[in-house]
Amino acid sequence: METGTNSKRILTSMATRLAALKLACPYIATEWFDEPELLFAGGSRHVDPKVGVPLYGPRSFGEPRHKRELHVGFIGTSEAVEHARMFYERCAAGVAGTGEDAPFPGCKEDRGYRCELRTDDRIVELITRQESNELLGIKNSRKRFETILMLLHAKMRLLTQRDHPLDYVSVVLAEDVYRKCRVANYTEKGMGLVHRDLRLAFKALAMQFHPPTQMLLETTTGLTPPTRRKLDHQSRIAWNLLRRSTSRLTACRGAPLALRPAVASSASAFSARSEKGRRYGRAWSRHSMKTGRAWC
């Protein structure tokens, strides 16, 4: 009886002598940067590309590397491609703004991005009605997803093999096709649950071809029958669409000044002038604090 008591005393004594485990305290440092100026044509500067582009033109304007024409190719059904071409041409002429949305200056030789937007039947690859019906008729979501990827890969290959200038490719999807194919969730042996996103998968697939790509929903053009989808103002859509189309060709975004390269993309991505920018900034901060990493 006494031996058992002594053992308990020894164990209790050893436990009280163990040092408490000390955990490293997390350390977070924050720093506020004023919004950097951007360089535009002729060395002109401004913090906002929606002011700098209309006033001065893209950074490459006036230099030998500046492209005078932007050739946009299309992949999609006949009607979707026609709507997309009309929409691009309307944006290229310029779009009036509102109190909250800056007007889009257009994409012409004498204004905006200072280049002419060109579309041509020779750089269009149509998705036939039969191909669309066969795609929508596939019941298995994984097979349907892989089928549309193979279809887009084949169209992209044919398009890039044409003997015609091609700077950018817009893939225009009808609403029903996009809703049916936009994601696939399935279980893969040895990997577990797999989630695939059509936009990301196509971007990765299209990297083997030279022209940059953009996936556009036909409803975004505003030329389809009304749907429940709420669209941004046309000038905002035009800025987003044409800025992406021209950014690699005309250096339209310029270069942030007086910032370290490691922070330039983050600093210029989240503009404090808009509520959307503030929301992104807050989300970015929370993500960084949780993971120690920043989005790229």
Query: pLDDT digits over 202-246, tens only?
Result: 999 999 998 999 999 999 999 998 888 889 999 999 999 888 777
pLDDT of residue 14: 55
CATH number of the domain that residue 107 is part of:
3.40.50.2300
Please determine, for residue 4, whether its predicted confidence score (pLDDT) is greater than 70: no
- Lowest mean pLDDT: which of 25-34, 64-73, 89-98, 260-269? 260-269
Residue 228 pLDDT? 83
What is the per-residue pLDDT for 115?
Answer: 93
Q: What is the mean pLDDT of residues 46-53?
A: 92
Asked if pLDDT for residue 15 goes beyond 90, the answer is no
Higher pLDDT, 168 or 22: 168
- Asked whether residue 197 is assigned to any structural domain, the reply reads yes
Q: Does 27 have pLDDT greater than 70? A: yes
Q: Which residue has the higher pLDDT, 154 or 265?
A: 154
Q: Which domain holds residue 71?
A: 51-258
- How confident is the model over 48-73, as a mean pLDDT? 92
Residue 267 host element (H or E):
helix 261-269
Report yes or no on 28 lying in a domain. no
Q: Structure tokens of 275? A: 């509520």
Nearest 5°: phi and psi at 170? Answer: -110, 120
Does the residue 110 lie in any domain?
A: yes
35 against 64, higher pLDDT:
64
Domain assignment present for 268: no
pLDDT above 60 for 253: no
Q: Residue 32: inside a domain, yes or no?
A: no
What's the pTM value of the predicted model, to 2 decimals? 0.76
Rounded to 10 degrees, the C-alpha dihedral 283/288/291/293 comes to 120
In three-state secondary structure terms, 278 is helix
- How far is Cα 100 from Cα 63, in angstroms, rounded to an integer? 33
- pLDDT tens for 157-174 read 999 999 999 999 999 999
Per mean pLDDT, which range of 59-73, 112-126, 129-143, 254-268 is the poorest? 254-268
The answer to the question of residue 11 being in a domain is no
CB 58 within 8 A of CB 66: yes
- Count how many domains the chain has: 1
Residue 3 lies in a domain: no
Is the predicted pLDDT of residue 186 greater than 50, yes or no? yes
pLDDT band at 32 (very low <50, low <70, confident <90, very high): confident
Beta strands in 156-287 (DSSP E): 168-173, 183-188, 192-197, 213-217
SS3 content of the chain, % helix, strand, coil (to 5): 45, 20, 35
Residue 87 included in any domain: yes
Q: 10: which DSSP letter?
A: H
pLDDT band at residue 266 under the 50/70/90 scheme: very low
Report the half-sphere exposure of 179 (CA within 13 A, side-chain side): 6
Higher per-residue pLDDT: 98 or 155? 155
User: If we measure between CA atoms, which residue out of 21, 34, 17 comes closest to residue 256?
Assistant: 34
What pLDDT sits at residue 276?
Answer: 47
Q: Hey, what are 155's tokens?
A: 């169209």
Mean pLDDT of the chain: 83
Residue 261, both tokens: 């390269």
